[in-house]
Structure 1
Amino acid sequence: MSAAAGTVALPGAGSGAPAAAPPAPAGAEFVPPSVPMATVGLALAVFMQVLDGTIANVSLPTIAGNLGVSTNQSAWVITTFSVCNAIALPLTGFLVKRVGQVRLFIWSTLLFTLASLLCGLAQSLGALVLFRALQGAVAGPMIPTTQALMLSIYPPHRRGFALSMIAMVTVVAPIAGPLLGGWITDSYSWQWTFLINVPIGLFAAATVSSQMRGKPEKTESVRVDHIGLATLVLGVGALQVVLDKGNDEDWFQSPFIVIMSLIAALSLAVFVIWELHERNPIVNLRLFANRNFAAGTVTLVLAYSAFFAVNVIVPQWLQRTMGYTAIWAGLAAAPMGILPVLMTPFMGKYAPRFNMRWMVCSAFAILGAASFIRAGFFLGVDFTHVAAVQLLQGLGLALFIMPINAILLSDLKPQEIAAASGLSTFSRTLGASFAVSLTSLVWERRAVLHHAHLVEGLPPGTLGPAAAPLAPGDTAFAFRLNHYLDQLAYQMSFNDVAYALGWVFMLAIAVVWLAKPPFTPKAPPGKR
C-alpha cells in the first residue's frame, strides 16, 4: 500500500462485483445501504469473539478426557488464547494504518472463523493449542475496529446507541458462554463450542463487507517498529503466562514464575521507554496524554477488573462452597444480563442528555452496593437472594459500559479511535487478568487463615489425635466437622473478597471525575 491516501477495496469487491453502495466522495459522509444490517453484522462478530473467551472454559474437563491429557495441560487452551489476544489488542492502531478499519475487521473475522473451524477439527492437544493461539491473535482487532466502524456510520446524536449496542453484546456474551458451553458439551460434543462460530463468522463478515463497500479509508505504509513489537510480544506474553499460571505454580515459590516475571518486567520497561521516544511507535502510548482517555481508561480498568473478579469468583463460590452444579451456578449468575439487554435502547437514546460522570458514579454505587451485600452472605443463603443481587449488579452494568466508553473516546480525533479502543481494551483485559489472579489468591489464602482460626476455637483433639487416636465414630464426626469448617472458612473468605471489591468500585467513583466534559465522540470530516 502506498503512503498516499486511497480507498481500500474489500475482499471480493473487484470490478465485476455488484457494489452495495457507490464510493463516497472524499470528506463526504458515508452511510451504508442499511445501517441496521451493518450494526447486526458488527455486533454479531463481537458477540462471537467475546463468547469464545468463556464458552470453552466449562468444557476443559471433557477436552482433557477426550484428548487423553491432564486438566492442567488442557488449561493451555485458555492460556494461549488469552496471551495472544492480549498481545494483538494494542497493535490495532498500527494495523489500521496499514490496511484500514474495514479490511482489518473483515479479515480478522474470517481468520477467527477459520481458526474456530480448525479448533473444532483438532485431534490432539498440541493442534488445539496452536489453533487457539491463532484464534486469540486474530481476535485482537475485532472489538476496537467494531467500535470505530460503529461510530463512523452513526450521526453524533446516535453514537450513544452505537456504543450501547457494543456494551450489550460484551456484557451478555460472557454470561451466555458458560451456560451455552455446558449445554453444548453435555448434549453434543466439545468440538461444537468452536464449530458454532463458523456460520456466525461467515454471516458477519459477508454482511459487513457488503454494507461497508465503498467506504473511503486512508492507509499508510508505516515502518514496522521491530524493537517495540518484540518487547511487546515478550513482555505481555510472559506477563499473561504469569497471571494465568501463578496460582497453579504457587506464585514466586516456583522458579518458572520467577523467571517469567523477570522477563515480563524487563521487557515491558524497555517497551514503554522505547515507545515513548520512537517516532512511529507500534503502540501509541502518547494517547494517555489525553486527559479524558487517561481518566476514562483508569476508571474502566478499576471497575471492569472488580466486575470481572466478581464474575469469576461467584460461580466458583456457588459450586465449591454452596454445592451448586455448573448449570445451576450459571442460572444463578445469569440474571445479571437481563437489565443490560432491556435498557440498551434507552441508554443509547437518553444517556447523552446527562453528565456521563454522574451516570458512571450511579453505576459504581450500585455495583459497590451489590458487592457489599454479598459480603453479608452466609452458608444458608438461598438461590433467590443470589439471583436478586446478580440482577442488581446488572443494573449497575447497564449504566456503566456505554458511558465510560463515551468518556474515554470523547476527546480523540476520529482516526485515533481504533488505536485508543485497542489500547483501552488491552488495559482492561490485563487489569481483569490481574484481578482474577489476585482475587483467587486472596480467596485461597484468607480461607486457610479463617480455617486455622476456627480450629483454634475447638477443644484439643476434636479433629485429630491430641493424646490418643479417635474412635471410628469420632473419626467420621471429625471428618464432617472439618468439611463444615472448610465451607465456613471459604464463605468467610468470599465475604472478605466481596467487601474489598466493593471499595474498588468506590475508588473508581473518585477517578472518573478527573475527566472533563463534553463527552460526545468527535465526528469524522463531513459528519454532522
Structure 2
Amino acid sequence: MTRRGLGVAAAGFCTFLNLYSTQALLPTLADTFGAGLPRTGLTVTAPLVAVALVAPFVGGLSDALGRWRLIVWASLFLAVPTLLAAGASGLDALILCRFLQGLLLPFIFAVTVAYIADECPGTEAVRMTATYAVGTILGGFAGRFVAGWATELSGWRTAFVVLAGLTLACGAVVAWALPRERAFRPVRGWRGQLAGFADQFGNPQVMATCGVGFAVLFSMVGTFTYAGFYLAAAPFGLGPAQLGMVFVTYLAGAVAAPVATRGVLRYGRQRTVL
C-alpha cells in the first residue's frame, strides 16, 4: 500500500469507526438510562442527521479552502466530541455528543472522495476508492466491535474513551500519510459555489449514485439497529461483546471491495453496480 493509500484508508477508518459505534451498545444504553428503544436509537440517528445537514455544504467549503486541511483537522478534532460522550451526564447529552460527531464526519469522508478525484487519475482513482472503501468497512466493524467489548469489560463510558484514543491515532496517521493536494484549484466566490451545487442536482449520474447509497444504507442501518435489540432480548440474551461480534459479517465488504474494483475496471461502473 502506498503512503497515500494509507492516508485515504485511515480517513475512511476514522469516519466509520465513530458513525455507527453505538449500535452494539443500544440495549445497554436503554437499560442504563431507562429509556425506550426509539429514544435510545437516537444515538445512531443523531450523527446521521448531522451528516445529512452538513454534507451538502462541505463540497463548497473544500472547493474554497482545500481538501487536505479539512480532512486532517476534522480527523483530529473528531476525538473531542467522542471523548465528551464518555462523560455525558444523561442520554440527551450523549445524543448531543453524537450529533457533534456527525457534524465533523462529512469533512472527512466527503472531502476524501473529492481528494481522490482530484489527485488520482484514471484507474488509480478506482483502486484508491477501493482502498478507501476497505478503510470504511474495517472502521465500521471496529467501531461496533471495540465498543461492544469495551462496554462488556469496563462499561460504555470506557468504550467512548477507547474510541476517542483510536480516533486521535487515526487522525495522526492521516496527517502524516496523506500528501497535500497538488491538482487542487480553489473556486472563489459564492456564485461559483452555487452553480456547482446546482449542477450536481441536475446530473442524473450523481442522483443515481445517491439513490444507490440511500438504498444500501437504509437497509443496512435499519437491519443492524433492529438486530441489536432483537438479539439482546430473550431467548438470545446477547451482551454488548456478543453483539459486537455480530458485525464480523461487515467484514465481507472488505473482500467484496477489491472484487468490485476488478469488475469496474473490466465491465464499467454501471454494469458492476447492476
- Name the TM tier (shorter chain): 0.7 to 0.9
**Structure 1 CA distance for aligned equivalents of residues 189 and 12 of structure 2:** 27
1:461 is aligned to none
- Identify if the C-alpha distance between structure 1 residues 63 and 95 changes in structure 2 by more than 3 Å, giving closer, same or farther: same
Conserved? CA contact 2:119–2:181, under 8 Å: no
- What is the SS of the residue equivalent to 1:136? helix
Amino acid at match of 2:179: M
Conserved? CA contact 1:57–1:78, under 8 Å: yes
**Structure 2 CA distance for aligned equivalents of residues 123 and 313 of structure 1:** 26
**Structure 2 CA distance for aligned equivalents of residues 76 and 152 of structure 1:** 36
Amino acid at match of 2:186: T
2:5 is aligned to 39
- Identify if the C-alpha distance between structure 1 residues 290 and 216 changes in structure 2 by more than 3 Å, giving closer, same or farther: closer
Q: 2:101 aligns with which of 135, 138, 142?
A: 135
**Structure 1 CA distance for aligned equivalents of residues 196 and 29 of structure 2:** 36
Larger helix percent = 2
**Structure 1 CA distance for aligned equivalents of residues 23 and 216 of structure 2:** 23
Q: 2:137 aligns with which of 171, 196, 199?
A: 171
RMSD: 3.3
- Identify if the C-alpha distance between structure 1 residues 350 and 62 changes in structure 2 by more than 3 Å, giving closer, same or farther: closer
- What is the SS of the residue equivalent to 2:156? coil
**Structure 1 CA distance for aligned equivalents of residues 93 and 250 of structure 2:** 35
**Structure 2 CA distance for aligned equivalents of residues 332 and 206 of structure 1:** 29
Amino acid at match of 1:195: V
**Structure 2 CA distance for aligned equivalents of residues 343 and 303 of structure 1:** 15
2:215 is aligned to 302
2:124 is aligned to 158
Q: 1:59 aligns with which of 6, 25, 32?
A: 25
Q: Please list, as runs of the form range in 1=range in 2, the aligned pairs for 1:440-455 lying within 5 A after superposition.
A: none
CA deviation digits over 1:328-381, x for unaligned, max 9? 55545533523x3234444434531123333223xxxxxxxxxxxxxxxxxxxx
- What is the SS of the residue equivalent to 1:196? helix
Find out whether 1:284 has 2:197 as its counterpart.
Answer: yes
**Structure 2 CA distance for aligned equivalents of residues 300 and 114 of structure 1:** 28
Q: What is the aligned length? A: 270
Conserved? CA contact 1:37–1:207, under 8 Å: no
- Identify if the C-alpha distance between structure 1 residues 282 and 113 changes in structure 2 by more than 3 Å, giving closer, same or farther: farther
- Tell me which structure has the larger Cα radius of gyration: 1
**Structure 2 CA distance for aligned equivalents of residues 105 and 164 of structure 1:** 18
**Structure 2 CA distance for aligned equivalents of residues 312 and 129 of structure 1:** 16
Amino acid at match of 1:334: V
State the 4+ residue runs in structure 1 displaced beyond 6 angstroms.
none
Q: Please list, as runs of the form range in 1=range in 2, the aligned pairs for 1:4-83 lying within 5 A after superposition.
A: 36-63=2-29, 69-72=33-36, 74-83=40-49
Find out whether 1:112 has 2:26 as its counterpart.
Answer: no
Conserved? CA contact 2:13–2:135, under 8 Å: yes
Task: Report deviation, 1:187.
Answer: 0.6
- What is the SS of the residue equivalent to 1:44? helix
Q: Please list, as runs of the form range in 1=range in 2, the aligned pairs for 1:206-285 lying within 5 A after superposition.
A: 206-210=172-176, 211-213=178-180, 215=182, 217-223=184-190, 280-281=193-194, 284-285=197-198
Amino acid at match of 1:180: V
- Identify if the C-alpha distance between structure 1 residues 195 and 38 changes in structure 2 by more than 3 Å, giving closer, same or farther: farther
Task: Report deviation, 1:121.
Answer: 3.5
Conserved? CA contact 1:98–1:220, under 8 Å: yes
Amino acid at match of 1:59: L
**Structure 1 CA distance for aligned equivalents of residues 231 and 92 of structure 2:** 32
Task: Report deviation, 1:60.
Answer: 4.2
Question: Which residues of structure 1 form unaligned runs of 5+?
Answer: 1-34, 224-277, 362-528
Q: 1:335 aligns with which of 233, 249, 252?
A: 249
Between 1:108-117 and 1:73-82, the stretch displaced more is 73-82
2:69 is aligned to 103
Q: Please list, as runs of the form range in 1=range in 2, the aligned pairs for 1:178-217 lying within 5 A after superposition.
A: 178-210=144-176, 211-213=178-180, 215=182, 217=184
**Structure 2 CA distance for aligned equivalents of residues 99 and 140 of structure 1:** 15
**Structure 1 CA distance for aligned equivalents of residues 246 and 235 of structure 2:** 12
Question: Which residues of structure 2 form unaligned runs of 5+?
Answer: none
**Structure 2 CA distance for aligned equivalents of residues 131 and 310 of structure 1:** 24
Q: Which of structures 1 and 2 has the larger relative contact order (alpha carbons within 8 angstroms, sep 6+)?
A: 2
Conserved? CA contact 1:315–1:333, under 8 Å: no
2:55 is aligned to 89
Amino acid at match of 1:98: A
Task: Report deviation, 1:317.
Answer: 4.7
Query: Structure 1 length normalisation: TM-score?
Result: 0.45
Conserved? CA contact 1:160–1:349, under 8 Å: no
Query: Structure 2 length normalisation: TM-score?
Result: 0.79
Conserved? CA contact 1:101–1:145, under 8 Å: yes
- What is the SS of the residue equivalent to 1:191? helix
- Identify if the C-alpha distance between structure 1 residues 209 and 56 changes in structure 2 by more than 3 Å, giving closer, same or farther: same
2:272 is aligned to 359
Conserved? CA contact 1:77–1:128, under 8 Å: yes
- Identify if the C-alpha distance between structure 1 residues 190 and 314 changes in structure 2 by more than 3 Å, giving closer, same or farther: closer
Find out whether 1:325 has 2:238 as its counterpart.
Answer: yes
**Structure 2 CA distance for aligned equivalents of residues 308 and 80 of structure 1:** 13
Task: Report deviation, 1:205.
Answer: 3.2
- Identify if the C-alpha distance between structure 1 residues 134 and 105 changes in structure 2 by more than 3 Å, giving closer, same or farther: same
Task: Report deviation, 1:144.
Answer: 1.0
CA deviation digits over 1:73-113, x for unaligned, max 9? 65544443232222111111121123211111112112212
Conserved? CA contact 1:100–1:219, under 8 Å: yes
**Structure 1 CA distance for aligned equivalents of residues 233 and 246 of structure 2:** 14
CA deviation digits over 1:410-451, x for unaligned, max 9? xxxxxxxxxxxxxxxxxxxxxxxxxxxxxxxxxxxxxxxxxx
